[in-house]
Amino acid sequence: MKCAVDENVNLIVIGTREASGLERMFWGSTTAGIIGNTTIPVLAIPKEAEWKGLKNILFATRHFEADDKILIPVFKLAQLEAALVHIAVFTDTDGNDLSGYLEHGRLLNTYQQTLPARYKDVQFKTEHLEGKEFEDTIEQYIKGYDIDMLVMTTHKRNFWDSFFNRSMTKSMAYHINIPLLTIPVD
């Protein structure tokens, strides 16, 4: 990663392979380590991935990103391939936080109204996904809508945050067989 920073690269591209449960628990993976510790976007391409072009890009979030620094790379990629951008907001249904659920619905409505006005040349589809497990819900969506690439953001975390709350983005690097583009927020 030091080399990427020193050379002022714009994107790190890395191939991935499936890590066993023990591997993930004790050592993590090279890809997850890079994703969690870099300020440069990472494109992780699983060994099993088959390139079919980009027709459907899924941007999955729980943070309602509105920063052009995050959104423009995704939308430019979509424009190059005339792809549909699925913006999915996930709400965990394990908790009884009705206010959080309603807030996600309200913010998703804001996405539906503001993004097409700001980015006129991009086709959007917004979804409010809900479930008990983020990974399972996203994987079902990927299969159901023939998603070609998953895009997620990474957030800088302190030791205790990373110890007690696992990174959804890193977790998805282990679970999917399509390219994963991660964009650091902090």
Q: What is the pLDDT of residues 126-173, one digit of tens each?
A: 888 888 888 888 899 999 999 999 998 886 654 444 443 455 555 555
CATH assignment, 2-184 = 3.40.50.12370
Confidence of residue 115 (pLDDT cuts 50, 70, 90): confident
User: Is the pLDDT at 24 greater than 70, yes or no?
Assistant: no
The pTM of this model reads 0.81
The β-bridge relationship of strands 180-184 and 42-46 is: antiparallel
pLDDT of residue 86: 94
Q: Considering only CA atoms, which of 154, 56, 137 is closest in space to residue 90?
A: 137
Contact predicate 87/153, CB 8 Å = no
